[in-house]
Amino acid sequence: MAKIITDNLNLWYGDFQALINVKAAFEEKKITAIIGPSGCGKSTLLRVFNRMNDLIEGVRTTGEVLIDGENIINSHVDLVALRKKVGMVFQRPNPFPLSVYENIVFGQKIHGDSSSKLELDSIVEQSLRSVLLWDDLKDKLQKSALGLSLEQKQRLCIARLIAVKPDILLMDEPCSTLDPQATARVEELMRELKDKYTIIIVTHNMQQAARVSDDTGFMLLGELIEFGRTPDIFTAPKDKRTEDYITGRYG
Amino acid sequence: MLRHLDEELKELHKEILKMGVLAQEAIFKSIEALKNRDKTMAQEVIDTDNKIDELELAIDEKCIDLIARYQPMAGDLRFITTGMKINAELERIADLSVDISQRVLTLVDKPLLKPLIDIPKLSAIAQNMVRDAIDAFVNKDVALAKNVVLTDSQADKLRNQVVDELVNDYMAKDTKTVDRAVPLLLIARHLERICDHTTNIAEDVIYMVEAKVVKHHPEELR
C-alpha cells in the first residue's frame, strides 16, 4: 500500500523550477531510494515530505502530496504534527549538545509530552534498543552526545526520531560521512526499521541504493525519470538516461 | 563520458568472440573429419581442446574481476553475466566436438555402415546455429537470436530420425552393425546437444540486449 503519493508535484525556488511534475507512490514499510546527480532535486523532493522547504525563502510548491490520504501541501497542515510523523535524518549527524538521554527525550518535551520519569526512561531504552545502541550506551546516558563516534551519533539521531513515534523516516545521505563498516551497520539498521517505518533514502551511493532499497527512483534535472522495483532499475532500466547514470556514463 | 570499464568490456567482448571462433572451428573440423574419415583432423580437435579450456578459465576470471572491481549495473551487468554463461556454453560445444572426434576415431577403421544423409544435414544446422548465435552476440541482433532458438526443433527432429533409422533399420535387424551404428547414434546426439547449448547462447543474447527472459518461456519469443 502506498504511504505517500505525489501527483503533478512542482516546486520552484524563486524562478528556478527544482521539481517538475513528480508523480510517484512510496510504499508503506518499504525502503525507497532516490538517486540522481547533484542538483537533480532528490533532496528537495525528500524535504517536501515534511515541508522542510518552507524554511527556504521564495519556495513555491504546487500539486499533490498525499500522506495517508491528506494533501500536506495545503497551508492549514499542522507542521509540528507533520514533522513528528515524518522524521528526518541528515547527512551529518546533528545531535544536540546535550546528554544522550536528553537528546532522546528532547522531542517528547517539545511536543508537550507529560510522561513521567519512568515512562521517559522506558522511551529512551526502547529508542536506543531499536537502533542497537542500548548495550553500548546504557551506562553513558548522562554523557554528552557530542562525545560519541560518528556512527553512534547518526544512530542516536535515528533513535531521537523514533522516540516521537513517526511513521516515515526520511534519510538524506545518512551514511556519507561514515566508513564502510559503519555504513554497513546503518544499512542493517535500516532493514530492521522497515518492519515498522516507511523509509525514503536519498543517496549518491548507487551500490547502497541497490543493496538496501525495495524501490528506486531516478531523478534528473527536477524530473522523476524512472521509478520501479530496485532489482529492475539496476539490472534492466527502461530509460536510457537511467542506464547512463547508473552505469557511470552520465556527464 | 568515456569509461575505463568500456575498454575492459571491449576486451572481454573480443575474448568471447575468440572463444566462439575456436568453438566453431572445433565443430567444423570434427564434422569434416567425419565426412572425410580423417583421423588426423579428428585428433587435431582433441588436441586443441585444452586451448579452449584455458581461454574459458581466463574469460571467467576476467568477468569475476570486472564484477569485483566495477560493481557493474544495468546493461554492463547483463553483458558480463551473459558473457560468463555464453563462455561456458561455448566450452561445452567444444567438448562435444571432441566427443564427435572420438567417435570418428572409432569409426574410420571400419567400413561405412551406410551413406550419411541426415547426419550431414544435422551438422549443417548445428554449424549455422552456432554461427548465427555468435553473430547475434556480436551485433546484438535479437531477431537473429530468436531465429536460432526457433531452429532448435529441426535439430531435435533430425536427431530422432537418425536414432530411429539406426535402431530399427540396422541394430534391431543385425546386431553385427551395433559397433558402427552406436558411434553414429552418439554423433547425432552430440550434434543435437550442440544445438541445445547454442539455443542457450541465443537466449542469453536476448536477455543481454532486451533484459527479457525467454529461457523456459517460449511465449516470450513471439
For cell 536427431, what's the residue?
Answer: B159
- The answer to whether the Cα torsion of A46, A182, A126, A93 is positive or negative is negative
Residue A225 sits at the chain B interface (C-beta within 8 Å): no
Give domain status of residue A251, yes or no.
Answer: no
Can you point out the beta strands (E) in A28-161?
31-35, 59-67, 70-71, 86-89
* Residue B7 confidence (pLDDT) above 80: yes
Best mutation target among A225, A233, A246, A250 (most B Cβ atoms within 10 Å) is A246
Contact: B73, A246; criterion CB under 8 Å: yes
- Looking at residue B221, its pLDDT comes to 77
Angle between helices A180-193 and A150-162 (to 10 degrees): 10
Residue A230 · residue A214 · CB < 8 Å: yes
A vs B, Cβ pairs < 8 A, gives 34
Chain B interface includes A250 (CB < 8 A): yes
What digits encode the pLDDT tens for the residues B79-120?
Answer: 999 999 999 999 999 999 999 999 999 999 999 898 888 999
Digit-by-digit pLDDT tens for chain A (251 residues) are 999 999 999 999 999 999 999 999 999 999 999 999 999 999 999 999 999 998 899 999 999 999 999 999 988 999 999 999 999 999 889 999 999 999 999 988 887 777 788 899 999 999 999 899 999 999 999 999 999 999 999 999 999 999 988 999 999 999 988 888 889 988 999 999 999 999 999 999 999 999 999 999 999 999 999 999 999 999 999 999 999 999 988 76
In a domain, residue A92? The reply is yes
The answer to whether B72 faces chain A, any CB pair under 8 Å, is: yes
Given an 8 Å threshold on Cβ–Cβ distance, is A247 in contact with B71?
no
CATH assignment at residue A34: 3.40.50.300
Cell 541504493, located at residue: A209
Three-class SS state of A216 = strand
For Cα atoms A230, A221, A35, give the angle at the middle one, nearest 5 degrees.
Answer: 25
In this prediction, residue A251 carries a pLDDT of 61
Give B51-75 pLDDT, tens digit per residue: 999 999 999 999 999 999 999 999 9
What are the grid coordinates assigned to A43, written together? Answer: 533532496
Give the chain A residue whose CA is nearest to the CA of B80: A235
Nearest-CA distance A232 → chain B (Å): 9
User: What CA–CA distance (Å, rounded) separates A57 from B69?
Assistant: 44
In a domain? residue A51: yes
Nearest CA to CA, how far is B131 from chain A (Å)?
27
**Residues forming a β-bridge with A220:** A223
Q: Cβ A247–B1 below 8 Å, yes or no?
A: no
C-alpha B26/C-alpha B191 separation (Å) is 12
Amino acid of residue B33: A
pLDDT at B179 over 90: yes
No. of H helices and E strands in chain B?
6, 0
Q: Which of A207, A236, A251 is closest, CB to CB, to B74?
A: A236
- Check: CB of residue A166 under 8 Å from CB of residue A107: no
A209 in reach of chain B (CB within 8 A): no
CB-nearest to B74 from A207, A235, A251 is: A235
CB contact under 8 Å between A234 and B211, yes or no, is no
Interface check A251 vs B, CB under 8 A: yes
| Interface contact A235-B78, CB threshold 8 A | yes
Q: Do A243 and B75 touch (CB under 8 A)?
A: yes
Q: Is residue A33 part of a domain?
A: yes
Judge: B73–A249 Cβ closer than 8 Å, yes or no. Answer: no
Chain A, nearest residue to B2 by Cα: A249
Interface of B with A in 3-22 (CB under 8 A): 3, 5
Chain B: residue whose CA lies nearest to A250: B1
Contacts of A234 in chain B (CB under 8 A): 73-74, 77
The answer on pLDDT for B136 being more than 90 is yes
**Amino acid B186: pLDDT:** 96
Please answer yes or no on whether B75 and A207 come within 8 Å at the CB atom.
no
Q: Name the residue in chain B with its Cα closest to that of A205.
A: B71
The answer to the question of residue A139 being in a domain is: yes
Percent of chain B whose pLDDT exceeds 70:
100
Whether A44 is covered by a domain: the verdict is yes
Least confident of A143-147, B2-6, B75-79: B2-6
Mode of pairing for the β-strands spanning A16-27 and A2-13: antiparallel
Angle at A209 between CA B82 and CA A85, to 5 degrees: 150
A contact test, residue of B6, B73, B82 with most A CBs within 10 A: B73
The radius of gyration computed from the CA coordinates of chain A, to the nearest angstrom, equals 18
Average pLDDT over residues B121-143: 94
Q: Domain for residue A204, yes or no? A: yes
Q: Distance (Å) from the C-alpha of residue A244 to the closest C-alpha of chain B?
A: 9
Which residue in B9, B31, B7 sits closest to B131, CA to CA?
A: B31
Give the domains, in start order, of chain B with CATH numbers: 4-221 (1.20.58.220)
Residue B21: count of CB within 10 angstroms of its CB: 12
Mean pLDDT confidence for B21-25: 95
The set of cell numbers assigned to A165 is 513515534
Residue type, B68: A
Half-sphere exposure in the Cβ direction for B185 (13 Å, CA): 16
Instruction: Single out the residue of B202, B208, B127, B117 nearest to residue B166, CA to CA.
Output: B117
pTM of the model: 0.85
Planar angle of CA B30, B35, B40, nearest 5 degrees: 55
Number of structural domains (chain A) is 1
Residue B218 in this model has a pLDDT that exceeds 80: no
Q: Where in the sequence is the domain holding A17, given as residue range(s)?
A: 2-246
